[in-house]
């Protein structure tokens, strides 16, 4: 049995290489020489290669709920004929991150490979309860394997994280991000989930994924100048800029609640301190 397996592996590798070679030959005349054309051609080649090899079936998105929040808001304001990469880069996510968002809405079944809308996208042009009901149908269909396996309204975060790791081969950090985005979709669509799951937050190093940022503008060190420029460009953060400092918070419901608790704690501390100082002076 072992000998047959070892002999078949080189054959499978050769078949894969042959498939990739044929795809490359088909792709070559269609790819131009500009960086944008090369980037698009490589991206399409990888997806077609994986599909031909039976390796790509679509994986759940795991990045930035703010992208989807912006997208849903746009859908309720106007109809979109094509969700192209250019559209995404100008309105949702810049640079190469546009591919991540495009893959995400493809997983949800909202667009085809060329960015053309599916019938499900049209269902999200409504507002109110109709929007929530239609989005719930879309989410249940996209995550059908998850809903078929786990009772979501009783699920623990760890169960969903482990399911995504086993089903899609994600690393734990990425599976946790995918779980957080799934929670966002459920909340947006009013799909019942337990409180423990609703409050789920991925484990992160503080420097990698800070939900809030504060930089004092007076005599800013060079290293903070670069961070300040990055903050101003980062569309995933909402920024309040004052004369002497900048405060920014991630466009995420959990991050906003965290920021609110930080600000309230600071105000409570200042109030207590002022009260104590006032009492000392009166004495």
DSSP string, the chain: -HHHHHHHHHHHHHHHHHHHHHHHHHHGGG--SSHHHHHHHHHHHHHHHHHHTT--S-----S-HHHHHHHHHHHHH---S---HHHHHHHT--TTHHHHHHHHHHHTTSB-TTSPBPHHHHGGG--HHHHHHHHHHHHHHHTHHHHHHS-GGG--HHHHHHHHHHHH---HHHHHHHHHHHHHHHHHTT----HHHHT------TTTS-SEEEEE-TT--HHHHHHHHHHHH-TTEEEEE-SSEEEEEESSHHHHHHHHHHHHHHHHHHHHHHHHHHHHHH-
d(C-alpha 180, C-alpha 250), whole Å: 14
Q: What pLDDT is attached to residue 274?
A: 77
Q: Burial of 34 by CB count in 10 Å (0-12 exposed, 13-18 middle, 19+ buried)?
A: exposed
pLDDT at position 35 is: 55
From the list 82, 101, 92, the residue with the least C-alpha distance to 43 is: 101
**Res 122: pLDDT:** 93
Report the alpha-carbon distance of residue 86 to residue 139 in Å, rounded.
25
Task: Give the per-residue pLDDT at 275.
Answer: 75
pLDDT of residue 178: 95
Give residue 81's pLDDT: 87
Low-confidence ranges of the chain (pLDDT < 50): 1-6, 50-56, 206-208, 282-283
Distances, alpha carbon 69 to alpha carbons 170, 230, 282, in Å: 24, 22, 52
The pLDDT assigned to 5 comes to: 46
Residue whose token pair is 């980037």: 39
- Separation CA 84–CA 123 (nearest Å): 19
pLDDT the model gives residue 9: 57
Q: Residue 181: its pLDDT value, please?
A: 95
Please tell me the pTM assigned to this model. Answer: 0.56
Give CA angle at 91 (89, 92), nearest 5°: 75
pLDDT at 113: 83
CB 82 within 8 A of CB 116: yes
CA atoms of 66 and 71, how far apart (whole Å): 8
């Amino acid at each position: 049995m072992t000998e047959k397996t070892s002999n078949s592996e080189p054959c499978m590798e050769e078949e894969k290489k042959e498939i990739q070679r044929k795809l490359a030959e088909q792709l070559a005349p269609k790819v131009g020489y500009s960086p944008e054309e090369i980037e698009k051609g490589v991206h399409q080649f990888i997806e077609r290669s994986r599909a031909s090899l039976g390796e790509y079936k679509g994986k759940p998105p795991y990045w930035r709920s703010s992208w989807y929040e912006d997208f849903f808001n746009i859908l309720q304001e106007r109809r979109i004929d094509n969700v192209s990469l250019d559209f995404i880069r100008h309105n949702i996510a810049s640079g190469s991150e546009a591919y991540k968002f495009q893959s995400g809405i493809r997983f949800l079944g909202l667009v085809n490979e060329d960015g053309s809308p599916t019938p499900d996208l049209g269902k999200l042009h409504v507002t109110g309860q109709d929007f929530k009901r239609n989005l719930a149908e879309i989410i249940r269909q996209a995550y059908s394997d998850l809903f078929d396996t786990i009772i979501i309204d009783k699920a623990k975060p760890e169960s969903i994280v482990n399911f995504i790791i086993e089903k899609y081969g994600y690393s734990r950090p990425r599976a946790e991000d995918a779980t957080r985005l799934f929670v966002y979709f459920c909340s947006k669509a009013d799909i019942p989930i337990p409180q423990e799951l609703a409050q789920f937050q991925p484990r992160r190093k503080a420097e990698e994924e800070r939900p809030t940022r504060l930089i004092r503008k007076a005599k800013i060190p060079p290293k903070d100048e670069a961070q300040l420029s990055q903050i101003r460009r980062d569309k995933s953060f909402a920024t309040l800029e004052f004369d002497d400092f900048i405060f920014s918070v991630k466009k995420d419901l959990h991050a906003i609640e965290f920021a609110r608790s930080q600000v309230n704690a600071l105000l409570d501390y200042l109030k207590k301190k002022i009260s104590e100082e006032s009492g000392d002076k009166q004495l």
